[in-house]
Amino acid sequence: MSILIDKNSRVVVQGITGGEGTFHTRLMMEYGTNVVAGVTPGKGGQKFDDKVPIFNTVLEAADSEGADTSIIFVPPAFAQDAIVEAIDVDMGVICCITEGIAVNDMIKVYNYLAMSDTVLVGPNSPGIISVDECKLGIMPGQIFKKGPVGLASRSGTLTYEIVDQLTRAGIGQSTCLGVGGDPIIGLSFIDLLDDFEGDPETEVILLVGEIGGSDEEIAAEHIASEISKPVVAFVSGRTAPKGKRMGHAGAIVSGNKGTAESKVKAFDEAGVPVPISIEELVEEIGKALKK
């Protein structure tokens, strides 16, 4: 099993003919992702690499090819419309890679999403991968190994580093995803904790957090009261200065809120180990798997 996506997901790529969409669609298909359609307004009737039909709208892709999962590679100015279009068609899962979407646009998307059954990963997410089944987004599939660790992260590049070291240590992963680095996102750590809790394939849950916001503190409270599986956490940005954005738009400390110290403290109080290095993190996960 896996969470959110699997080998049966029927994927439509919104923005399939753009530079990023073209490049990463080919890699997703090489990984085994079941890409059944693409969408680029004005290019309906064409085929991507002489294989995948392209449509003008997501509705046409859903009606013709049974698409139920969307991956979005469109510029920020068009991302709001692309997400809303996919919600309107009742896509089960939408993953938005686009970075730099206006906060006002995402507020509208967030409120619209709340009235639907669709789940959104991102925006500003590197994607989702259910190992050896389906890959959505820009993550390098070759570093992943099938196994029992479920990973949810706020940092794309840190995810790659951690997964690479887990794989080198012989520790595989079930599903890994980036929640997105923007201030307003779809699925939260709490949502994914519950998903991993219910996934029989996942034995240990790994959360990768960073400075800014309160997602980690909220997740720690949820873990203490609702999660029975072992959880290990990593918090980046321990040396970041206050008031300065580090990397993501959501990674900024204001006053005493959103600090690495407050997040580590919250996890400690919930009984979640928070190693200070990736090497120690891999060791801690290995211990949790043996319990």
Catalytic residues: 248
Confirm if 3 and 199 have CB atoms less than 8 A apart.
Answer: yes
For residue 193, give the amino acid letter: L
CB-count burial class (<10 Å; 0-12, 13-18, 19+) for 55: buried
The count of other CB atoms within 10 Å of the CB of residue 280 is 13
91's tokens: 């896509």
From the list 134, 178, 148, 174, the residue with the least C-alpha distance to 160 is 178
CB-count burial class (<10 Å; 0-12, 13-18, 19+) for 91: buried
At 232, phi and psi to the nearest 5? -120, 145
**What is d(CA 163, CA 26) in angstroms, rounded to the nearest whole number?**
22
Cα–Cα separations (whole angstroms), residue 169 to 104, 145, 222, 243, 279: 43, 11, 29, 37, 10
Cα–Cα separations (whole angstroms), residue 258 to 148, 216, 237, 245: 30, 9, 10, 12
**What is d(CA 144, CA 72) in angstroms, rounded to the nearest whole number?**
22
**What is d(CA 181, CA 22) in angstroms, rounded to the nearest whole number?**
23
**What is d(CA 202, CA 229) in angstroms, rounded to the nearest whole number?**
9
